[in-house]
Structure 1
Amino acid sequence: MTISTTSSSTDSLPDRTRPVAIWLLSVAALVALMVVVGGLTRLTESGLSITEWKPVTGAIPPLSAEVWEEEFDKYRQIPQYQLVNKGMSLDEFKTIYWWEWGHRFLGRLIGLAFFVPFVWFLATGRLRGQLAWTCAGLFILGGLQGGLGWYMVASGLTERVSVSQYRLAAHLGLAFLIFAALVWVALGILRGNARADDANRRWIGWTAGLMGLVYLQIILGAFVAGLDAGIIYNTWPLMDGAFVPDRVYAGEMAAFEDHMTVQFNHRMLAYLICILTVVYCWRVVADGAPALQRRAAMWFATGVLLQVLIGIWTLLAVVPVWLGGVHQFGAVVVLGLAVLQAHVAYHRDDKAVQQLG
């Protein structure tokens, strides 16, 4: 990733651009929260409770008994209610409605948290040149994410009782992409964009590869969530009585539509990432890489190992809502650490970031 975050040497002065970096990291934290709330919304099967997309007026929740009845009546028209939740009470509907409303409201809040400071930084000259264009691109991606979210919800309103796993994967994938880009740009402001010395640049391939694998694992996790594939085959390390089940990859689209195969893929990639991370961390330390690169590698390895353990726990516990949320948050943390170590490998160390160690 080669996003440029400065337009001149003066743009990197801490007194001018550090507030921009803090702003971007704050928005990244909100995106992380959005990802977790979205995961909890999915786990509580609340995502289809609001059957219309009203970007502006939808920010106001039902404020009267009459409006609540209208919203509930709309929900009663879709297959999820008729086939899964028939007989649900109004109070039960309110519970799932608030989850979805909170998720959408948080998306609107992120939009404001980005747009208002963006305009202010432009007006005060803190955002200029390539950095301004980069931030504008991030804002556009955020808008596309809102539209993609509705596209996902719409897939579950007519013939299905849940959203399409393909659209869920696209929606989640874009959210994580935005998060990673926000962190990368903020690090570029804090650390500068000078190319790293050869001692660090030798790790670019490793860090980029691991970052890509973590992102792919997140996409595979979205397919697991979209198919509810985590609530079956709840044993470990064996799956259906074997490490490699006999019926895995049975079918043309098994990798995306078969519960066993989708979960199997998620497991196998987790093992691969874990092995490669341990090897990478060992090599970085043994080869005497720069101090910050060693710290970043150890942070990343710790995050990966903890995430694998949480994933196993989540599977064995048959995905309780709170633990599923922890696992989703763990994915955000691991990707953030992957972005950090890739940035450290690609760009020269700076005292501002070294102090974090």
Structure 2
Amino acid sequence: MATLASSPELARTAPQTGARPAAIARWLQATAFLVVCIVVVGGITRLTESGLSITEWNVASGVLPPLTEAQWEAEFAKYRATPEYRLEASLGGMSLGDFKFIFFWEWFHRLLARAVGAVYALGLAWFWIRGAIPQGFKPRLVGLLALGGLQGLFGWLMVQSGLTGDMTDVSHFRLSLHLLTALALLAGLVWTALDMRRLARDPAERPAPLTKGSALVALVLFVQLLLGAWVAGLNAGHAAYDWPHMNGRLVPAFDWSSGVLWTLTHDPYLLQWLHRWWAWVAVAALVWLARRVRRADRRASIAVHAAFGTMVLLGIATVMTEVSLWVASAHQLVGALTVAATVWAIHADGIARRQARLPATK
């Protein structure tokens, strides 16, 4: 019979020379913070209708905003050629000052995107060259770099969708792809940082597994985030401003005449209603997860409860304030924090379930 110490699965290994998991964890956490910032600024960009104000993607020259009046007039002229301006913004008599406001948010959003890419890519190169990456983690770290690149690509494809034809907004499908990829990147950064933290404490630690129960919770939360992205993309937050009713009815009558699939994916009224009530399914799943990890990691449990509780309250407040810019932005911020807290709890759940199975290996 194999003993606990001699079991191949549990055998301790000598620390890798030069590996610096604690430093890598701090770098990943810093990058995750920047991703949260870019999610929030992206939300403000959407809420202020700023996303189409910059019609080109110039990686180097786009770092600086226009510096002269001539440059501002040139950028404004490009925007005036877009469907959004011709069919919508021009009706309100947009001035150059108004354009500068929306330009700022899109420029700042792209600047943060560059910062995320630079911090991650340069950090990865530094740790790689110095041989500081623990064994087995290089593919995962490269994968996160690729995911960040995809997120940027999806952002530009999203912008392009609003610059052609008669579109006055970007595609809500592409917006959701852009946002959910950012949140997936955030989840990967947090998960990997947690693995690195454990590795710094014990070089024999292995990456946390994903349990079936936690995977189901993640799926429930994914659906809620997807619905939220579609609500944002279709301006569906303006479909009703009362709660818990919608325009005086708890369960409104929906128009299915365009087909079930189209209505489920395009009707702002239905999507706001689904986002409202699927939230309670997400709450039930997150309560279950938080209680499940309470003994293993009490702080993770508290973080999940605090995050989803605040997110629900801010969601209701967003509706009742008629989509106030700062309330809605706070709702999106806490949504990102809820993802981070959920990943923390799911990671703790994987560690706890694995440790619970250890006696069976004796």
Bin the TM-score by the shorter chain.
0.7 to 0.9
Mapped partners of 1:180, 1:248: distance in 2: 37
Which of residues 93, 96, 100 is equivalent to 2:99? 93
Aligned match of 1:355: none
Q: Which position in structure 2 is the counterpart of 1:323?
A: 327
Which residue of structure 1 aligns with residue 241 of structure 2? 234
The alpha carbon displacement at 1:55 in A equals: 1.6
Q: 2:188 aligns with which of 155, 161, 181?
A: 181
Structure with greater Cα Rg: 2
Asked whether the equivalents of residues 215 and 335 of structure 1 are also in contact (C-alpha less than 8 Å), the reply is no
SS in 1 for 2:89: coil
Matched residue SS, 1:291: coil
Q: Give, in whole Å, the separation in 2 of the partners of 1:208 and 1:298.
A: 20
Is 1:60 paired with 2:69? Answer: no
Map of 1:10 onto structure 2: 15
Q: Which amino acid aligns with 1:211?
A: A
What runs of 5+ residues in structure 2 fail to find an aligned partner?
1-12, 200-204, 354-362
Check whether the contact 1:293–1:344 (CA below 8 A) recurs between aligned residues.
Answer: yes
Which residue matches 1:291? 295
What TM-score, normalized by structure 2, do the two folds share?
Answer: 0.86
Is 1:255 matched with 2:260? Answer: no
SS in 2 for 1:10: coil
The runs of at least 4 consecutive aligned structure 1 residues that moved more than 4 Å come to 279-282
* CA gap 1:11/1:347 in 2 versus in 1, 3 angstroms: farther
Match of 1:314 in 2: 318
Instruction: Tell whether the 8 Å contact from 1:39 to 1:328 is kept in structure 2 after alignment.
Output: yes
**Identity, % of aligned positions:** 38
Cα distance in 1 between the residues matched to 2:268 and 2:74: 36
- Tell me which of 279, 298, 302 is aligned to 1:270: 279
The one-letter amino acid paired with 1:323 is V
Partner residue of 1:190 out of 185, 188, 197 = 197
Q: What secondary structure, in the 3-state scheme, does the structure 1 residue paired with 2:170 have?
A: coil
TM-aligned CA deviation for residue 207 of structure 1 = 2.6
User: For residues 96 and 244 of structure 1, what CA distance do their matches in structure 2 show?
Assistant: 37
1:295-326 CA-partner distances (Å, limit 9, x unpaired): 42332122212211110011111111111110
Correspondence 1:138 to 2:158:
no
Rounded to whole Å, the distance in 1 between the matches of 2:17 and 2:249 is 55
**Aligned partner letter, 1:208:** A
Matches of 2:311 and 2:256, distance apart in 1: 26
Instruction: Tell me, yes or no, if the aligned pair for 2:290 and 2:300 is still in contact at 8 Å.
Output: no
Q: TM-score, normalised by structure 1?
A: 0.87
With 131-140 and 103-112 compared, the bigger mean Cα shift is at: 131-140
Tell me the equivalent position of 2:344.
340
- What amino acid sits opposite 2:15 in the alignment? T
User: Taking structure 1 as reference, are residues 249 and 211 closer, same or farther at Cα in structure 2, changes over 3 Å only?
Assistant: farther
CA distance in 2 between partners of 1:298 and 1:225 (Å): 28
Q: What is the aligned partner in structure 1 of residue 357 from structure 2?
A: none
CA contact (8 A) 1:17 1:189 kept: yes
**Structure 1 residue 38 displacement after superposition:** 0.3
Q: Distance in 1 between matches of 2:65 and 2:169?
A: 23
Q: 1:17/1:80 Cα in 2 relative to 1: closer, same or farther (>3 Å)?
A: same
Q: How far did 1:195 drift?
A: 7.4
